[in-house]
Amino acid sequence: MKSIAITSGKGGVGKTNVAVNLGLSLAAKNKRVLLFDADMGLANVDILFGFTSKHNVGDVLDGKFHLRDVMVEVSNGMSVLPATSGLLQLEHPSQSELAKLAEQMDELSQDFDVLLLDTGAGLRDTVLFFSSAADEVLVVTTPEPTAITDAYAMIKVLKSDYQVKSIKLLINEALDDKEGRDVFNKLANVSKTHIDFELDYAGWIAKDIHLEKAVRKRKPVVESFPSAPSSLSFQRLVKDFNSIFTSQSQPLMSSFWQELLQQRKVGS
């Protein structure tokens, strides 16, 4: 199971929509996809799908259920692990709680090809933990200067403090291929010059009124408007999927321990 953390510096740049629509598009190509709403404390994958869940990851941390029991199948080939909003415990999980989640996710690895982790935004512990534990990190930004600046801050911390070796950049809400490339080149140059880090380009997703309409309808754009510009962008991302995400799959748990040991070294 290949794990991909979908993250950003600034909030509201489209992570959850990317996770949901990329997931559905992969499932349409016969991949078995699990989407973990890891934006704990501010969960909203269920809102985008228009479902309400009886149980959530909070019940797993309480020890009442296994992740397997809280999974919801949202479409053929795609399941979601819902989080819940407003639970302090989920906003600041302890290391042993994170370890439990990583362990149980690894136990699901036979059942899925791709695990998408919608991590939430910013330099918070859980965001950084899931980003450093996953096989791949997809940083989402829009062409807005504030989003680009915050994406750079995120990339810097992931590289310098969390030893993340490879980061893919996705430009959401781009006008066209040229704007996507321009934003990527700008960030790639800054990263190369200032932190000696080579960013990879994952592509761009069109700025699209259909996507906003789909959010209001609580039905993902690739399902509501399959031939809208943003839906076609997701199809392209899936077509390029294997050449973008080339890292070896590792259990989340092994990265978890590596990170803990690293923190001890930093702390001592």
Residues making contact with Mg ion (CB under 5 A): 15-16
Angular region, 119: left φ>0, alpha ψ -120 to 50, beta rest: alpha
Which is nearer to ligand ATP, 108 or 215 (by Cβ)? 215
Q: Does 22 bind ligand ATP (CB under 6 A)?
A: no
List the one residue from 173, 222, 228, 256 that touches ligand ATP (CB under 6 A): 173
Contact partner, 211, from ligand ATP, Mg ion, none, Cβ < 5-8 Å per class: ligand ATP
Q: Does 159 bind ligand ATP (CB under 6 A)?
A: no
Contact 159, 25 (CB under 8 A): no
Segment interacting with ligand ATP, rule: CB under 6 A, options 24-32, 69-77, 210-218, 246-254: 210-218
List the one residue from 33, 121, 154, 202 that touches ligand ATP (CB under 6 A): 121
Tokens of 190: 């800054």
Contact partner, 230, from Mg ion, ligand ATP, none, Cβ < 5-8 Å per class: ligand ATP
In order of 11, 28, 234, 258, the CA distances from 208 in angstroms are: 18, 21, 12, 40
State in angstroms the smallest separation of the CB of 223 from ligand ATP: 15
Tokens of 68: 């397997």
DSSP-based three-state secondary structure for 36: strand
Distance separating alpha carbons of residues 45 and 162, to the nearest angstrom: 26
Q: How many residues does the chain have?
A: 268
Task: State how beta strands 167-174 and 200-206 pair.
Answer: parallel
Which is nearer to ligand ATP, 34 or 256 (by Cβ)? 34
Q: Does 79 bind ligand ATP (CB under 6 A)?
A: no
